[in-house]
Structure 1
């Protein structure tokens, strides 16, 4: 029974990852529309943009916040195999993560470059000063492409979403230390978690990116260490009501920066502090996805599970598709970009998963075994010498 419950909860986390990836797609479609359709200044009360930006409907397009959910999920899911096996191979994990993250990212950059060459991106096709004009690559060169392939820069304009992989790699390297701290402090999970959130807030306010993002992964690691306790508690009387409250509060905290924008002006230290607190909301949502029956059932439905399977591929390739359409049609045609771009991004994500990411899973498993055996042979030979 416990083993079956663990599998169910992991399926729910897959569904949550899929929903988060879909939200990132909607976020970028909204960015295409904003410079043309959104009036300048604070949205007028009861207007369409007020509903989209100042109410819980913002959850549908909260892209950066969905990325924080990704980070918490990575912190939880990646560490679970290490908690189940005493002889877990850390070299094997690093090798596997390099293959599963780096090779699909390179393929996505190649895909984005091909679209960039085939469909010229003329600046006149997008609004000056908009996100598309400032952040999305409109031309290319070999030296710049080589730099982008490292994924270690602040931005990756060939495929902007790839900035997150830098932190995924760093987390993979720091995971043993994260796990030790989480295990040692598991009984004091609440102050430990709040300390991690506090560090994230300090990093956001102080613009220190390692402090801004790495504690978010640690929150996921802490959830993984406490997973059995969370499962046991979720089956107790009254837990469901508490989890409903936790879920609602977590969702509101996740978009607190937008809900409180009329009071706490965006760009101020107070606004940055609210952004730092979003990690707490992301962690709460992940906990509820693994424990709350209603949310878990929704995330285990066919559509979230499909999105979960292709989530990484969808995340990697949707932006080049949307950007290409926006430059080809003009961002003033954003309704057509959205109507065509959303299904085309889903189709492209599925194809990328089927023909690129899925075959690389086997390569990652081989790399994991190879790295583990190589380290074992080296240790044995060193002892023999």
Structure 2
């Protein structure tokens, strides 16, 4: 089936925001706080206001990825259900098998390369110290093999999430992606013979239940499925040609919630949200989980707005977003390793060449903000193109081979009569 081009563009922009933000999120904290955060003399900057703050909203991009996945997966399967119902079961069976292959074969490749590079001492000292109790460069290759095996097993555990965030800490999203995808497959199969209105009612109850208990990532996937069902139910592309109250309200909610900052609690301009959450949000998780619930609601609203906006979709189908969408997955896989191998070394050298003094302490960030921005920008001018070039190489060289390998594995597993 044809890809939905504007979704590729949206995914590319979201991946770019995550890639850029990961480069400096541990060093420059000001952009990740809201305008009204305290103390006032360290904040009140224009870039902390919406909509500019969307450029630093990397945590909101993860729920957005999941809404995108839920919608993209569902759209293709719903077309089979409505147009070729006799092929739906075969399509579901193929999707259930191919999904982990498409996610985890690249993960196995990047995790293996990571261990090789770590063993060769290519990672910076601060990364080596994080795992010094388990693995050390140039020592005990077997310990690296064991570490790699345990890492892959943790990533495959979709029943009891392990949150393995040491090396390749950004890959914690993979088991969530697989778990959410399987929930989509099961829900579509279960509802395949239902009346359209019954499907919508059931999905609405599911969303209410998930929201009540704060199951944020499942909420995102089911929201993507629900939006795809609503589009199918309407029998036409749901495009709004004029500004309506619903469209304006969802736009405002999306902008407000996706700009929720990464502080340790509700910032002053978001404290009203504490009155709206259920007790379950904080009963089973810390503030981080509460925040993810609000970001997920914002991501769902944002996606629904883009889905109904021809103007935004036209922007997303232009050349740059489409290219970023094409390399979004390898860019997400690769970027952390590039930063952990060369980020600090290059950044510290550029700082010394431009400032001729030691790197500033955390409490001196605001006093050196302009110099820090210049150093990070210069460093990104080197590492950013490197990440893009490697992602492009992956798409051109490795992705077709991984795709062929996935199909070969599926063909080998299936009985002859069930092969495509």
1:182, 1:221 within 8 Å by CA — same for their partners in 2?
Answer: no
* Equivalent-residue separation in structure 2 for 1:36 and 1:247 (angstroms): 25
**What secondary structure sits across from 1:157 in the alignment?**
coil
Q: How many residues align?
A: 355
Q: Does structure 1 residue 112 correspond to structure 2 residue 93?
A: no
Contact 1:74-1:220 within 8 A present in 2 as well: yes
Go from structure 1 to structure 2 and tell me whether the alpha carbon gap of 1:233 and 1:38 turns closer, same or farther (over 3 Å shift).
closer
Task: State whether structure 2 residue 314 is matched by structure 1 residue 297.
Answer: yes
Q: Is the 8 A contact 1:53 1:258 kept in 2?
A: no
Matches within 5 A, 1:171-320: 171-179=180-188, 187=197, 189=200, 192-193=203-204, 196=207, 199-200=210-211, 202-203=213-214, 211-229=215-233, 232=236, 234-235=238-239, 238=242, 242-243=246-247, 245-257=249-261, 261-263=267-269, 269=282, 272-320=289-337
- CA change 1:299–1:372 in 2 (3 A) is farther
User: Which residue of 64, 75, 81 corresponds with 2:59?
Assistant: 64
- Report the CA distance shift for 1:27/1:276 in structure 2 as closer, same or farther (over 3 A): same
Task: Supply the distance in 2 between the matched residues of 1:330 and 1:36 (Cα, whole angstroms).
Answer: 19
SS at match of 2:167: coil
Cα deviation, 1:289-339, whole Å, max 9, x if unaligned, reads 332011101100100000111111111111111121224336646444333
Select the structure of larger CA radius of gyration: 2
Match of 1:146 in 2: 149
Judging changes above 3 Å, is the alpha-carbon distance between structure 1 residues 310 and 228 closer, same or farther for their aligned structure 2 residues?
A: same
Between the two structures, name the one with larger relative contact order (CA 8 Å, sep ≥ 6). Answer: 1
Shift of residue 367, structure 1, vs aligned partner: 4.3
**TM-score normalised to the size of structure 2?**
0.71
Q: Does structure 2 retain, via aligned residues, the 8 Å contact 1:247–1:288? A: yes
Pair 1:79 & 2:79 matched: no
Partner residue of 1:28?
22
More helix by percentage:
1
Cα drift, residue 165 of structure 1:
0.8
Offset of residue 372 of structure 1: 5.4
Report deviation, 1:221. Answer: 1.2
SS at match of 1:34: coil
Gaps of 5+ in 1: 1-5, 127-131, 204-210, 378-385
* Corresponding residue for residue 383 of structure 1: none
Q: Which runs of 5+ in 2 are unaligned?
A: 138-142, 275-280, 349-358, 360-374
Give the TM-score, by structure 1 length. Answer: 0.77
SS in 1 for 2:27: helix
Give the Cα separation in 1 of the matches to 2:51 and 2:401: 39
Q: What's the secondary structure of 2:149's corresponding residue?
A: helix
Name the residue aligned to 1:381.
none
